[in-house]
């Protein structure tokens, strides 16, 4: 059975009127067959390397890096994983070779779910685990540091490229998830399912 570990709980904090600090939630998935998938390696390089070391994992051990979307706070650290295959909403890339992304991550039972709205090319992962379906949702849901994590499908997202598509993506995630890992914040149980 797939297992999930949150290596870094994502954060967004305002530093000044026009400045912020942000790095995404970084999730490690160990698949049923032992593949290591890293989701959204974030922007805090020092913290990510320390967390991987705590897990006794070298960057070369990671088989896939999944990027929920292309905002820098989610993907700035992808260069740490030059041997990993990169997956996003549209493709799988192995160095300079690309192919259209299938519905599932190859060799796994993990589904790639398109969840546009925060960004048009946003995607999430549906991961079957012993505790139920965990949706690694990227910024379909996210909260500022210190903000109460209340699921509200109509919550304003100042970075959303398409607010209506985001509402639809939130509904889709809530229909499928037992647990949600947001782009920034703590994993939460979906009590609305």
**Averaged pLDDT, groups of 10, the chain, 193 residues long:** 98 92 98 97 98 98 98 97 97 96 96 98 98 98 96 96 98 98 97 70
Task: Tally the residues of the chain.
Answer: 193
What residue segments make up the domains of the chain, in order of their start?
3-189
User: What pLDDT does residue 178 have?
Assistant: 98
Q: Distance between CA 141 and CA 135 in Å, rounded?
A: 11
Looking at domain 3-189, its CATH architecture is 4-Layer Sandwich (3.60)
- Residue 187's nearest CA partner among 3, 1, 5, 49 is 5
Find out whether 174 and 153 touch, Cβ atoms under 8 Å. yes
User: What pLDDT does residue 17 have?
Assistant: 85
């Amino acid at each position: 059975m797939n297992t999930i570990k949150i290596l870094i709980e994502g954060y967004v904090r305002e530093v000044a009127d026009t400045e912020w600090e942000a790095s995404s939630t970084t999730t490690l998935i160990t698949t049923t067959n032992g593949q290591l998938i890293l989701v959204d390696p974030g922007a805090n390089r020092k913290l990510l390397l320390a967390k991987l070391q705590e897990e006794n994992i070298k960057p070369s051990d990671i088989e896939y890096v999944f990027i929920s979307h292309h905002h820098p706070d989610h993907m700035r650290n992808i260069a740490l994983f030059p041997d990993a295959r990169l997956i996003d909403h549209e493709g799988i890339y192995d160095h300079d070779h690309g192919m259209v992304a299938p519905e599932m991550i190859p060799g796994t039972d993990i589904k790639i779910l398109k969840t546009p709205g925060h960004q048009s090319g946003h995607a999430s992962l549906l991961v079957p685990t012993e505790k139920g379906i965990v949706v690694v949702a990227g910024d379909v849901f996210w909260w500022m540091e210190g903000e109460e994590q209340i699921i509200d499908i109509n919550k304003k997202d100042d970075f959303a490229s398409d607010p209506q598509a985001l509402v639809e993506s939130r509904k889709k995630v809530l229909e499928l998830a037992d647990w949600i890992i947001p782009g920034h914040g703590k994993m939460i149980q979906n009590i609305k399912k």
